[in-house]
Structure 1
Amino acid sequence: MDVSALGRLLLVVGIAVAIVGGFLALGGRLPFGRLPGDISVQGQNTSFFFPIASCIALSVVLTIVLNIVFRR
């Protein structure tokens, strides 16, 4: 492996770790899991939660970020 390729890999991994750390630090303030399109059903003894709008929003954000990072 070329040294410059290793440096680029370490840079990308470092940025990814910083982004994940930021999301974890701000986790309580972000509306993921409580968006208007998220489905939550509660019965007497059961509950079901499917965060469809949050999944779509996260997919769009990750697609944009990864396209910027891996663009050649």
Structure 2
Amino acid sequence: MTELPKMLMGAGALLLLVGFVLQFIGKLPGDILIKKGNTTFYFPIVTSIVISVVLSLIFFIIGKLK
């Protein structure tokens, strides 16, 4: 049970780091942005894929440690 707090702190630090990077990048190349008149459509497909890969790696590592 002593490993759980360490894993949570590591996951939190990783999410904090990803949050800071995304804050300064704003939008990744490959994200869809369509502006027509006063309507804007934004679909962050590449950002979604990156977040999915990072979360999959975190859950894989947590699963291996158990």
Q: Which residue of 2 aligns with 1:35?
A: 29
| Pair 1:60 & 2:53 matched | yes
More helix by share: 2
Contact 2:29 2:46 in 1 (8 A): yes
After superposing the two structures, state which structure 1 stretch, 50-59 or 39-48, moved more: 50-59
| Structure 2 stretches lacking a partner, 5+ long | none
Cα RMSD, aligned residues only: 1.9
| Superposed structure 1 runs of 4+ greater than 3 Å apart | none
TM-score, scaled relative to structure 2 = 0.73
Q: Which has the higher contact order (CA 8 A, sep 6+)?
A: 2
Structure 2 CA distance for aligned equivalents of residues 57 and 19 of structure 1: 13
More strand by share: 2
Query: How many positions carry a matched residue from both structures?
Result: 64
